Amino acid sequence: MRIVFDLDGTLIDSAPDIHATSNAVLEERGFAPLTYAQVKSFIGKGVPHLVHQLLQASEADPNGPLHAEMVAAINARYERAVGLTQPYPGVREALAALAAQGWRLGICTNKPLAPTRAVLRHLDLQDAFEIVLGGDSLPERKPDPTPLYAAFAGLGEGPALYVGDSEVDAETAARAEIAFALYTEGYRKAPVETLPHDVAFADYAELPAIAAQVAR
């Protein structure tokens, strides 16, 4: 029995740290800070996409030489950008309950691997997951289903459930043809009913029962 989770917007609310890091990098280059809502809407497709959106919102060339420079600058800060990040309510309890039910747990995120591991260590969640794949672990990243397939392969055989919060996660699960539970309190921009999903939930206390239903 296998469950793979997205990270940002699914297990953890990291938007405050990503917002602060993004604005620090922008301000170093003479740009005005962007709002929390703006930066939050850019999360989910990895750092190159984030920087593209930051530059575009700052009326700068998103494909110019600043792009690579800012990707490197954000990546350099990313491992330390953990102080404002918290797990969503009920996440710790749900992970413990799932493990007790016999589920093997993994993570498949577009966040780079080093900051992914750093934030899991900071939150003392690193031991909950048997496999952790970041956006730079493979040449492909979500919504390409390849990383999701790899994460599930690392967990062995059995029923499979993917848990995510966004349009990217919904598309990834649909392309992989894997059952998808949509966490509705994350960084999704589109209405819930417009995203393909098998079940939607707002409270992590519901997830063990959802998983048990998938297993049946």
CATH 1.10.150 in the chain: give the residue spans: 15-78
Task: Tell me what pLDDT residue 143 has.
Answer: 97
Low-confidence ranges of the chain (pLDDT < 50): none
* 6: annotated active-site residue: yes
Going 132 to 137 to 57 to 23, the CA torsion angle's sign is positive
Strand (E) or helix (H) holding 26? helix 15-28
pLDDT of residue 51: 97
- Which SS3 state, helix, strand or coil, does residue 158 take? coil
E strand residue ranges, the chain: 2-5, 12-13, 86-87, 104-108, 131-133, 160-164, 179-183, 199-201
Residue range(s) of every CATH 3.40.50.1000 domain in the chain: 2-13+85-215
Task: Report the Cα–Cα distance between both ends of the chain, in Å, rounded.
Answer: 11
Q: Give yes or no for a contact between 101 and 208, defined as CB atoms under 8 angstroms apart.
A: yes
Residue 215: its pLDDT value, please?
A: 83
pLDDT at residue number 112: 93
CATH of 2-13+85-215, one of 1.10.1740.10, 3.90.25.10, 3.40.50.300, 3.40.50.1000: 3.40.50.1000
**What architecture (CATH level 2) is domain 15-78?**
Orthogonal Bundle (1.10)
Measured at the alpha carbon of residue 70, what is the angle toward residues 68 and 62, in degrees to the nearest 5?
Answer: 70
Catalytic residue (one of 6, 8, 17, 165):
6
